Amino acid sequence: MLIKLNYLLMKMNAGAWIGIAGGLIGLIVGVGSVLAAGGPSAIYIAAGILLLFGGMAYLFYKLFFGPMILASRLRKTGLPGKALIKEVHDTGVTINNSPQVKLLLEIKNSLGQKYTTTIRTLVSRLNPQLYQPGMTIPVLIDPADDNKVVIDYDGDRQSTNPVTGFSDGGESKLKDELLKDQQRDDATRLTGKAARAIVKKYTWLGININGNNPYAEIEVEVLPADAPAFAAKLKGAISEQSVSKYQPGEEIFVKYDADDLTKVAIDHS
């Protein structure tokens, strides 16, 4: 279940508006005082103050207020869609100790059309790996400009149980699948051959297990010491603290069945 950090942060409170109004009043008073003092350079100083604070206000709007206003509007008028996260980049911006990231998304709208666009969003400092390449997330699309997109934080409520994070009616089926996966992986770890593997793709499957531990599919290239490399897929719950270790390019250790290369399991030893 997606953490609704942005949804909470984007609720503008009265204190924020008071702060903006106070800043504008202070700017007007400051510029007025400079002009009232007179002098040949007064108008240049006033212009410099306006440019400086105007630029800061524009930057603040682009980074914070603009996305907040867009999200508020699209929660009422946006069209639902799905987005595949292609890339994640740190913007270097932090708000309330939560980092902002830039996401390159492949959007699939309600008509089935695909295109790419970018958005900026905040992630919890307690869960910085919330958005990763390969994940699919629900979005809202501006009907007037399909490049304007925001994450739909309510999009998962209709299809998942808000307590367990499992699809309604699908919890038993998923538990059975997890049990079979665990039994197969335990057998592979017991008798399989050890090897290094390089993570090629990490895909969150939309649910968490036992808290915030994501259930994920991991595509890897297995590198046996005495046999050709081969591709494989792993599926299972990943510890929330260990998500960063299973991102594309990372090296992990696995065990595999030499007689059935579809049986590969993470080696936790």
Q: State how far the alpha carbon of 223 is from the alpha carbons of 21, 44, 80, 187, 269, in Å.
A: 61, 67, 41, 20, 18
Compute CA 89 distance to the chain's CA centroid, rounded to the nearest angstrom.
Answer: 10
Alpha helices in the chain (DSSP H): 5-9, 14-37, 42-60, 66-77, 171-191
pLDDT at residue 229 tops 90: yes
Q: pLDDT higher for 49 or 88?
A: 88
Which residues have CB under 8 Å from 249's CB, separation 6+?
198, 199
Q: Which two tokens stand for residue 251?
A: 């090296």
Which residues have CB under 8 Å from 96's CB, separation 6+?
9
**H or E segment at 88?**
strand 79-95
The pTM assigned to this predicted structure is 0.44
Residue 63's φ and ψ, nearest 5 degrees, are -85, -30
The DSSP secondary-structure symbol of 93 reads E
Rama region for 21: left / alpha / beta (φ>0; ψ in -120 to 50; rest): alpha
Question: pLDDT by residue (tens digit) across 189-224?
Answer: 888 999 999 999 988 776 777 777 788 889 999 999
* R_g of the chain, CA atoms, integer Å: 25
pLDDT at residue 2 tops 80: no
**In angstroms, rounded to a whole number, what is the distance separating the alpha carbons of residues 150 and 66?**
12
Question: pLDDT by residue (tens digit) across 97-126?
Answer: 778 888 999 987 666 678 899 988 877 666
pLDDT confidence of residue 261: 92
The DSSP secondary-structure symbol of 16 reads H
**In angstroms, rounded to a whole number, what is the distance separating the alpha carbons of residues 168 and 155?**
14
Question: How would residue 144 be classed by pLDDT, with cut points 50, 70 and 90?
Answer: confident
pLDDT at residue 148 tops 70: yes
